[in-house]
Amino acid sequence: MTQDTNLQFEQALATCRAIFAAKLKDYGASWRIMRPCSITDQIFIKAKRIRSIETKQCTRVGDGILPEFMAIVNYGLIGLIQLSCPLTDSIDMTPDEALTLYDRYASDAFELMKRKNHDYDEAWRLMRVSSYTDFILCKVERVKEIEHHQGETSVSEGIDSNYFDIINYALFGVIKFSD
């Protein structure tokens, strides 16, 4: 089953990347002006919307859960890019540079998923999608707390580790909704 997971994960990432690339074409890397805490808040509102749709079993906007999981993947990768680059008040990155960084962190997320999937024995397949949402929201709250402490932790993983987990849970949601 791991081979199927790897293929599904790569396909889900490719779908998210295509959306990211199309938005780069439309807007450029306009997100470069966002501070990391704003990226965290963007992920938060996407996850809250998913939870709201899961709870209410309907949406009045039209877009469903799948596009929100894809947005969380992309914002998580943007968050990792933002953590690795100095803050700026202008767009200082070409679309090609942004895609190169996107691919780097997406590859890192994929490798992490493979390692964890080995150890956890495909447990994500038996989980409810609503648990992915809850785990994402929990990770966002952890990131917000770490941001409040200026990135310092005493024993916990840092912001980047939480973003990687958020990305991977969101990709599991993409896979489940794409099946």
Mean pLDDT of 94-100: 98
Q: What mean pLDDT comes out for the span 84-110? A: 97
| Long-range contacts from 86-91, C-beta under 8 angstroms, 24+ separation | 87/35, 88/32, 88/33, 89/33, 90/32, 90/33, 91/28, 91/29, 91/30, 91/32, 91/33
Question: Could you tell me how many helices (H) and strands (E) the chain has, helices first?
Answer: 6, 0
d(CA 37, CA 147) in angstroms, rounded, equals 7
Least Cα distance to 166 among 31, 144, 19, 153 occurs for 144
The CA-atom distances, in angstroms, between 75 and each of 33, 53, 60, 106, 155 are 14, 20, 23, 12, 26
Q: What is the pLDDT of residue 129?
A: 95
For residue range 38-91, list pLDDT tens digits in order.
999 999 999 999 999 999 998 888 889 999 999 999 999 999 999 999 999 999
Average pLDDT, the chain: 95
* The predicted structure's pLDDT at residue 154: 87
Range of lowest pLDDT (39-43, 130-134, 151-155, 174-178): 151-155
DSSP characters over 30-75: GGGGS-HHHHHHHHHHHHHHHHHHHHHS--SSS--HHHHHHHHHHH
pLDDT given at position 179: 79
